[in-house]
Amino acid sequence: MDLCSEHMNCSDDPAHPQLLGVVVAILLRCVKMTIWLPLSLACLPPYILGLLVWGLPPIVSPWNRFCRYFIAAWTEGNKDENIPLTNRILVFLIVLGYMIKSPVYGVCWFIDELLYPSYHNFEPVEPVFFITGVRSGSTQLANYLEDDKDTFLVPTVQEGMYPFLWMWKLVGKNSWWIQRKLYGGEGKKHHNFDSSKTDSLDFFVRSWHFGGLSRYLGTSFMKWGFCYVPLDEPIDEWFCNNLLKFTDSIMRKIIYYRGKPGQRILIKGHFLIHAPVINKLYQGVKFFTVARDPVERIFSTINYMKAVSMDGPVHFEFGLFPAPWKVVRNWSLQTQIIYCKREMMFYGQSDNNRRVIPFTMYVNNLCATLQGIYSFCNLSIPDHVVSNAVEIQITTHDRTKRKASYDSKFQKSLVDLGVDEVKLRDHLTSYINWMKKFEEEDKKYI
């Protein structure tokens, strides 16, 4: 694209994974599938019956989507992206493994439908949606709000990755026996991950539908499989539509299981593609986004996506060779520029249920930011939230300290990445001006 030069001051090293490590990873994948196969066959009859009664669960992919990945494993990616053959083999086997496990996943979902069908009756009342751009700081902001458990009801990562009422009731609210290593030390520097707290809901769903694998098959396929806004080209529409179904189900299950009178359920994510639909589905819904300098956000996205592919969930679980810098760079630029334009369109509409939080205000005056959120939701902010915000601002709300600790392998400048920042800012002039308008309005609070 015209924003990038072919020259990049960063290399993907090593060029190929070690042969022994690859052989071990492939063998382990085959062993895991063999172990799962008898259980899946045993679950197949009740799974088929459940399909006839309730339809396909939102945690199971349809056959045509499995086939799309099977084909992509061998065909996607151009010569410049140099996708290792080993990645192609592993992606194929991983997707095959998900297909084999589908009857087990489906039965786990259907148990809830059989034992607790009344959860469908729990309608979300005035839900709050944080639908923001990637790397906007929204996860940390949602973590601050979920600490006010009397006001906000927020799904945790654990609940999203194991969305079964029967399991929650079995293990209890606070006695989780499932703890997965999803981020390494370096990955956690880029993202404050805590499995007992909330995170982007699309992350939950993507973990069920192997969507993270798309980044290992080149830029084009990553744009198809890792999308949050309508692009002017094909995207994984089934996943996007299924995300909406999962969102509704998880909200109702959470309300049914641990909801209290007066609580507002809060969902965060980056699925702007669904914001107009959500606006029509739920009465009294409120939307928030964090407007951060788009160049800074895109730069952060590129480095974060690279870090996740080297020190994140897919790396730990599947042992794939990391996605190349060029792939994550091109994907970030192409999708996030469009995201900025669509974000302006949605949050710039005249509806009085949408609020834009300037990133500068969020960083410099957390207390005013939280007070603004409560006020916009017609809620009174508790005294302990105010005092906690002041303490957080003084002690832990420090981005500079965390960034200074990044390993150079995970932190490349735009110059290193071959990105022309001047041209990038020209592309994003309208968003930058839009963002500055909100910054000027809120300067009195900083």
Q: What pLDDT, in 10s, does the model give residues 234-257?
A: 889 899 889 999 999 999 999 999
Contact 370, 336 (CB under 8 A): no
- Domain count across the chain: 1
- Domain contains 296: yes
Question: Phi, psi at residue 318, to the nearest 5°?
Answer: -120, -15
- Domain contains 43: no
- Domain contains 61: no
- Domain contains 45: no
- Domain contains 334: yes
Give the 3-state secondary structure of residue 405. Answer: coil
User: pLDDT, tens digit, for every residue of 46-87?
Assistant: 999 999 999 999 999 999 999 999 999 999 988 888 888 888
Tell me how far apart the alpha carbons of residues 257 and 259 are, in angstroms, rounded to a whole number: 6
Structural domain of 259? 123-445
Rg (CA), the chain: 22
Q: Is the pLDDT of residue 127 over 60?
A: yes
Q: Is the pLDDT of residue 106 over 70?
A: yes
| pLDDT for residue 145 | 93
Question: Phi, psi at residue 120, to the nearest 5°?
Answer: -65, -20
User: pLDDT, tens digit, for every residue of 400-417?
Assistant: 556 666 677 778 889 888
- Domain contains 18: no
The CATH number of the domain holding residue 301 is 3.40.50.300
- Domain contains 23: no
- Domain contains 104: no
- Copy the structure tokens of residue 162: 């194991």
CA torsion 131→153→155→274, rounded to 10°? -30
